[in-house]
Copies of this chain bind each other. A is one copy, B any other.
């Protein structure tokens, strides 16, 4: 699957369309294997005690998959998440960013499916994993997938 948007273009798309939260995320890599997205962990992402909150981890996985799909179909603002199944496996390490690794497993005419692993930076045991499905406007979808 050839890429149609680079990491820099995805970051610019995020800044334009997600103004409010775009600064939370940094696209680290976008290539044929998938996409890596960093959550710049700040106070607003933490639960009391200092752990990154579940909704913040969910948001990271969701945005990572969204951008991985866009890297293949272009800047389609109308793609929407229809399903996410997420396992929270370990407490995030304190004081470091989280990095999500997303891969697209299917890019069909109306649905895109992929999965994401979330890591505390520098650790090999994942904090969370998620499978996500996006509904994509038919006109924007690629054939074959």
Contact = CB atoms under 8 A, between A and B. Distances in A.
A17 interface: yes
A58 B105 CA distance: 18
B81 A83 contact: no
A94 to B, nearest CB: 16
Interface in A71-100: 80-90
A135 interface: yes
Contacts of A46: 20
B54 A131 contact: no
Given A62-B54, A111-B135, A135-B111, A84 B85 contact: yes
Contacts of A87: 82-83, 105-106, 113, 131, 133
A122 interface: no
A129 interface: yes
Contact of A85 (B53, B90, B131): B131
Interface of A: 17-20, 44, 46-48, 53-56, 58-59, 62, 80-90, 105-106, 108, 110-111, 113, 115, 117, 125-126, 129-131, 133, 135, 145
